[in-house]
Amino acid sequence: MICSCNKTNSGLPMKANRLSKLSLAIGLSVATTSALASPQAFMSARSFAMGGTGVAVAHPSAAPSANPAMMAAEQHDWADDFGLMLPSVNARAADEEEVIDQVDDIQDLIDGFEDFKSSNPTEAQANARELIDRLEAFDRDTMRANVGLGLGFAIPTNSISVGFFTAGNLTATVRGEFDERDRVILEGIAALDPSAVDSVNLEDNLQSRGRILASAVVEAGISFAKTFELNNTNALQLGVSP
């Protein structure tokens, strides 16, 4: 439930400006609760671009989910009949540790090993040694992404304003996990006689992985708002989204 209130002076009305083949097997864990990696509350694309200021300056169409009391505030002439927010989408991602590039590099080393193990076993063993370093560097490195989608509709009136909203948010995190058993396997390959490298099946033996953790929240609601005139000539807007 969202509850909010705004107070305005009667002379200054508030305006609503508101790894595939990569043998680092990928584990997928999806949760629809907020306990795992809860997505942030949805923001319209406009509010998102302004740094999350929707509570203060949301348009009437975004008010039902951001600040329902704003539906009862006085609006511009072009916004006092109804407000409609067509599907609003925002997305952001953070990959400071270049996880995607690391996955590509690791896959290239695995592919190179498979290509060279028959024709150039010495080069294949060099790939195995380098793969140890790449997997260690990949361990605990993280990439995060968040996507939001929302729709809103509001009818501001002088009596009771009504609005509807629906929104969904998805947060996903990719994290590298290095299995120490892979070190033993790769060091063993590097120590083999080159003539025996051709019999090694590297892709089926590696246990390291990139784990994907994701959570999604979908919500929908109806909002109501009303303006109350105070004895000091000010106005108080109250709003609720059950």
Instruction: Domain ranges for the chain, please list them.
Output: 2-18+24-241
Tell me the per-residue pLDDT of 102-134, one tens digit each, with 9 for 90 and over: 999 999 999 999 999 999 999 999 999 999 999
pTM: 0.64
User: Taking the CA atoms of the chain, what radius of gyration do you get in angstroms?
Assistant: 28
Q: What is the DSSP string of 107-136?
A: HHHHHHHHHHHHH-HHHHHHHHHHHHHHHH
Instruction: State whether residue 143 is helix, strand or coil.
Output: strand
Split at pLDDT 50, 70, 90, the class of 14 is: very low
Residue 34 has what pLDDT? 38
Rounded CA separation 165/148 (Å): 13
Rounded CA separation 32/38 (Å): 9
